[in-house]
Structure 1
Amino acid sequence: GVHADPDRIVVCAGFLGGLGVLADLLRHRGTRSVAVESYGLPHHRRLLTRAGLGTPPLPFDDRGTRPGDDDHPATAGAVLLTPSHQFPMGLPLLPERRTALIDRARRTGGLVLEDDYDGEFRYDRQPVGALQGLDPDRVVYLGTASKSLAPGLRLGWLVLPPSLVEDAMDAMAGRTPGVLDQLTLAEFMARGDYDRHVRAARLRYRRRRDALVAALAGRAPDVRVTGIAAGLHAVLRLPAGTEQQVVRAAAWHGLAVHGLSTFRHPDADVAPLDALVVGYGTPPDHAWAGALDALCRALP
């Protein structure tokens, strides 16, 4: 559902490269802050902060991210969020909240930065339409090949409102990814190999997700698994006060997992929640069963 006329598309060096370009562009235009989600990747916040932008957190409740009230600081400048599959909580942005967010951007003249970080990998639902399709002149769509192919490829794309294309190109000076990588990916897509690869990967990751859910149901029935309709990770809800203990136990078993607190904005007005964020895309196939067994042994 993305309005992606070629004249709107700027190829960048992965998601962080694109976000860096947008941060410079926004600051140059006088933007003082980019609102972010209460739970999200800390290095995204750090990049915006280094660019001289504030990062006020958006409200969050048990139904996901809330765009904020009219007097909320998020209404100024821009908003960065993951509307199709919130990272790490795994909730899609509700239809009425999507509409409210777009309406607010129109009223205030702000921008919405849409991070479609794992849109290729969905399992139990139909694709969620891109927020950009609701208003291509107020939403910047950021996509990347890092999840579908490899993070080391460092290829991403910005689908921009026409009014931002020239400024984005100026901000891209010296940050363009290698032409050979771009041409290789273009050929991979044109031959249909990219689509075939994504379909095969989606099936493989769905099987991993199902194995994770089954293992936890049998060996850790008190642990609730959420956020699994799409993406490459699951959120495991833990008994109160046990998060750091479980993270240490997992490390002792050779697993690198993150506590949910790692992703919580330090200024977010949300109650602390003990949970693990467990990615299932990294282990090679031959190590997956062993990783699952180690995870179950680390859980309370």
Structure 2
Amino acid sequence: MKRIGVLTSGGDAPGMNAAVRAVVRKAIFHELDVYGVYNGFEGLMEGNIKKMELGSVGDIIQRGGTILYSARSMDFKTDKGQKIAIEQMKKFGIEGLIVIGGDGSFRGAQKLTEKGFPCIGVPGTIDNDIPGTDYTIGFDTALNTIVDAVDKIRDTATSHERTYVIEVMGRDAGDLALWAGLANGAESVIIPEKQESFESVVAKLKRGQVRGKKHSIIILAEGIGSGMDYGKRIEEETKMDTRVTVLGHIQRGGSPSGYDRVLASRLGAKAVDLLMDGIGGRMVGIQNNVVVSHDFSEILDKKHEINMNMYELSNQLSI
């Protein structure tokens, strides 16, 4: 293989640029040509493809977002769209593609591989919801963004003796909420995988009030539902002064943490190694600090699982 492509797809995540940098520089180190695909699979079909040099990825390791941009494409989900994408890559002489994104992006990469065009997936999503890897690129940075925000909210919660419900991202996974709840000492963590009953949350708040507790923090994963609705229920049931903060897309931005930069560099480089070995249809990941790879079918047919030991620990420490 002498020429490869790289794209980012789905929601952006801090560290995607570090992964793009690793792919480009690792490929050039091994004397491969590397082409950047702009605007995800949509740009792939449109032929929005440019050759990248060492300087193309200079000074981006510390930047959030993605210099290749990202876009969702309904047309690419069709057989016709996938064939158009392959023809575009053949036009540029691209022989393999690295896709940085989440499970939806990997399903697209799997379709291309099934059509004879080898693809490697690199997990980039703040949700940390991809099986086969302990961490996804962007999760650590998003977690630290939440922790910093909750620390600030706790200051005002203490000053005004309020209960705060804080809604965090994560789609259908509760990792961000769980890790942030444990890191911030939240009184309750509400996640899709293990829903604490509303009655239990209220009882915990009332116990704290009886012993003189002046404020409480509840972290709610967006997969549960609206933080605004949950906060309203809390206030109606407890008569406590309750506020709601929806952190929103602030969690997807910002300079990637040191961990995310290193993780992205390791996974991006491994993806290039696999393509050089003529291997496609796999996702790279990190397990027990070892870089691994799994067949797309192994991870896309599985469901992400939460660390229940951490959930129980969070409950035990929030009595």
TM-score norm. by structure 2 comes to 0.29
As a proportion of its length, which structure holds more helix?
2
Choose 1 or 2 for highest CA Rg. 2
Larger relative contact order, structure 1 or 2 (CA cutoff 8 Å, min sep 6): 2
